[in-house]
Structures are given as structure tokens and as C-alpha cells.
Amino acid sequence: MAADFMTQRGAMGCLLGFALAAGLGPAQAADWPQWRGLKRDGYTAEKLPAAFAAAPKQRWHLPVGHGYAGPVVAGGRLLLVAEANGQETAHYLEAATGRLLWAVPVGETYTDEFEPGPRCVPVIDGDRAYTQSCRGEFRCLNLADGSTRWRFHFRDFGATWTEEKSGGVGAANRRGHSGSPVVLDDRVLVQVGSAQGACLAAFDKLTGKRLWQSANDLTTYSSPVVGELAGRPQLVTATCEGLLAVAPEDGRELWRLPFKTHANRNVLTPILSGDTVYFASHSTGFRAVRVTHEGAAFQAADVWFNRDLKLNLSTPVLVQGHLFGLGPAKDYICLEQATGKLKWSEPGFDSVASTVTDGTRLLVTSDRGEVLLLVANPARYEELGRFQATGKTFSHPAYAEGIFYLRDSRELTAFELR
């Protein structure tokens, strides 16, 4: 068994390399090509500003349709999916000027008592982009003109949809898909959420050929991540059943940590560091899960579990041994990575706070559209400045080439932060 495992590791090394933690190979360090940046960890390779002397200059702004999906930026181009004429529509722009290059519909608009429009952040990879609609329409787009290279629908894999919103099935099956796919070398990995053996599926990123499908879990709002745990590449995601890890090359289940949440709902993206997964839910609390293996068998067990920190909608960032992000009491918090102990809490926030970091400072966007610059200081809350950027927003921003891109329900705005 151990020999088989080492052989698999050698084969996967050629497939994945160091880029497995990022999920994207061709992207440049200054790009923001997917959910939470280049490596899905909220980090920018650029230095954030030292302070805000005044409100930063707006480079441009333009009206956009409704939606929660944030922008992504790569190669001097920006991609945003927003509602237009009853369709989730991908808009491709010059990042420096906001000039529209093309716009194409990519799926039927979903709406409920909240804001209508898309919620899944697209992914840019080379000359292609991948979009995923609330109702499960998946497309690979040609960035040259927006044409569809290949597509499929989640219902093709047995995924179901219900108009009943009060609970009982997977969150995404009744409230719309909000997660984002991840590109890994020659494949794109998608959380389909079918109970008919296709919780997760992998496709050839160029042709759309199905490579594998795996597990029966229903889908939540969380996005999967890829990284190395216990010496082995793993795709980790939060489903309606708890945390699940599979082998990226064939979808084989490696381990799972079962837990149920209220309304079958998980939102945060798992954070990987060393051999540990950090994850929180709105009903169970914040936990650190250590992954180990003996031969080809993997196990996952809690290192610490802080049941009081029931984080809901915003994934923290991990900076120098501490986790920074929105707390359960509409506060911003700092948590010790090794122990799960709360270091400090600052009140005055609301339901959402998206965080971008350079490893020294934190750029935090509240759902009120206010942007704050903080020091990543585990000893105390330390603010360097703030400005009102947009109206109410639940979207994660993008940061690339010193420009900060943020949308609300009316506009997409680019701010100079160099």
C-alpha cells in the first residue's frame, strides 16, 4: 500500500507541481484570475498601500446589472458576470479603462427575495474563462470573442432543482450555486452537487471531456481548493455532509469529516496550511483539522474546535500564524492559528467583510461598501485608513497592478491604490 501511494505521488508530481496550491499555472503574479486571488487564499503579490491619505482616485466606473459575483483580472483584462435582460451575462473589459470588449449570456438569471443575478466568480485560465450560473449552466468561453468552446449543465449529471426555499435539500439546489470551479493543470474541477455520484467532477479544460465524477454529497455555497496535505495532492471542499477530500487525478475519496449544519448550508472556503484544514460554519463553529496517513489510508481529526466562533459568510485570511476576518458578532477578529484562541475583536462591522492581504496589511471591504486598511497585527486592532468606495455590496473585490476593483448592485468601480 505504501509503495502504491509513493508511485501515485510521483505521477502526480508531474501533473501538479507547485501550482497545485494556486489552481492556476499560466497566470502572472500580479493577476487576480479567480475566487480569492491567484492561490485562493486572499493574497496579492503586490504591496498594499501604507495608508489612505484621502479617498483614492477613481480610475473609472460603469453601470452593471445585479449580482453578487466579484470580478477577476488577468493579462490586463477584467471579467465580470452580471444580470442583463434575464440572463447571467459575462462582460469582458479592458482593465485599465473599463472599455467593453464583448458581452455574452451564459445562463438563465436566478432570483429570489434577495438580489437577482449571478453569484459564482468566474475563472480565467490562459485564453479561456470558465463560468458557472446559479442554476448550473457551466461554460468554457473563448476570451478572444466570448464564444462558447464547450458547455454542460449540472442536470446532465442528475443534479436537481427545487423552488422550495425553506430547507430539506442542499443549499445550492434551492438557493442557487455560489461556488467557483478550480483549474488544475489540464483539467477543471467542478462541484456539481449531484446525489447520483457527481458531487464533484473533472473535465479536460480544453475539450470538456469528462475525466471522472465522484461522491453523492449535495452542494453548499462553498468553493473547493487544491493543495498538498499529508504529502499528497488533494481537492478539499465543504459539502452538505461536512468536509470532503478526493484525489484530483481520479476523484477517489481520501477522507471526510462529517458534520451537519442548519439548513444544509456551508459558505466559507477551506483554508489549507501545512497538513491542516481550517474551516468554520455558521452553526458548528471554527475548527482546525489535521490530515494524516498510514500507507494509502488518510484520516482527518480536529486539532482544535472553537464552537463560539460561528463564522457565516466571509472566509478569513491566514497571516503569520494568525487568522484575520469577520467574526460571528459583526466584529472583525484575530484568531491564533495554533490554538484557535481569540486574540482580539473589533466591533462596528456588519454581515460581510472581504479581506485581501499582502502578508503585512489587510484591505477589508465591508458590506456597506466601505474599504478599510489595517495592519495584520495579532496584538491589537490597528487601522491605517478607510474610505467609502461603493454602495452596499456582498461581492469579493479584485486587486491587480495596484488597481482595486469592486462592484455593488449598480456599478463596477476601479480605484488607484498604488
pLDDT at 291 over 80: yes
pLDDT at 10 over 50: no
pLDDT at 274 over 90: yes
Total domain count for the chain? 1
List, for residues 129-162, the tens digit of each pLDDT value: 999 999 999 999 999 999 999 999 999 999 988 8
List, for residues 325-350, the tens digit of each pLDDT value: 999 999 999 999 999 999 999 999 99
Whole-model pTM? 0.93
pLDDT at 280 over 60: yes
pLDDT at 1 over 50: no
The pLDDT of residue 27: 65
Domain of 256 in residue numbering reads as: 2-416
- Interval 58-67 mean pLDDT: 96
The pLDDT of residue 21: 44
Task: Report the CATH number that the domain containing residue 254 is assigned in CATH.
Answer: 2.130.10.10
List, for residues 341-388, the tens digit of each pLDDT value: 999 999 999 999 999 999 999 999 999 999 999 999 999 999 999 999
Q: How does residue 8 score in pLDDT terms, banded at 50, 70 and 90?
A: very low
Q: How does residue 14 score in pLDDT terms, banded at 50, 70 and 90?
A: very low
- Interval 231-243 mean pLDDT: 96
The pLDDT of residue 116: 84
Average pLDDT of every residue of the chain = 91
List, for residues 192-216, the tens digit of each pLDDT value: 999 999 999 999 999 999 999 999 9
Determine contact, residues 23/184, Cβ cutoff 8 Å: yes
- Interval 34-58 mean pLDDT: 93
List, for residues 293-304, the tens digit of each pLDDT value: 998 899 999 999
Please tell me whether residue 334 adopts helix, strand or coil conformation.
strand
The pLDDT of residue 7: 34
pLDDT at 5 over 60: no
The pLDDT of residue 13: 45
The pLDDT of residue 171: 82
The pLDDT of residue 336: 98
Q: How does residue 19 score in pLDDT terms, banded at 50, 70 and 90?
A: very low
SS (H, E, C) the chain: CHHHHHHHHHHHHHHHHHHHHCCCCCCCCCCECCCCCCCCCCECCCCCCCCCCCCCCEEEEEECCCCCCCCEEECCEEEEEEEECCEEEEEEEECCCCCEEEEEEEEECCCCCCCCCCCCCCEEECCEEEEECCCCEEEEEECCCCCEEEEEEHHHHCCCCCCCCCCCCCHHHHHCCCCCCEEECCEEEEEEEECCCEEEEEEECCCCCEEEEECCCCECCCCCEEEEECCEEEEEEEECCEEEEECCCCCCEEEEEECCCHHHCCCCCCEEECCEEEEEECCCEEEEEEEEEECCEEEEEEEEEECCCCCCCCCCEEECCEEEEECCCCCEEEEECCCCCEEEEECCCCCCEEEEECCCEEEEEECCCEEEEEECCCCCCCEEEEEECCCCCCCCCEEECCEEEEECCCEEEEEECC
pLDDT at 264 over 60: yes
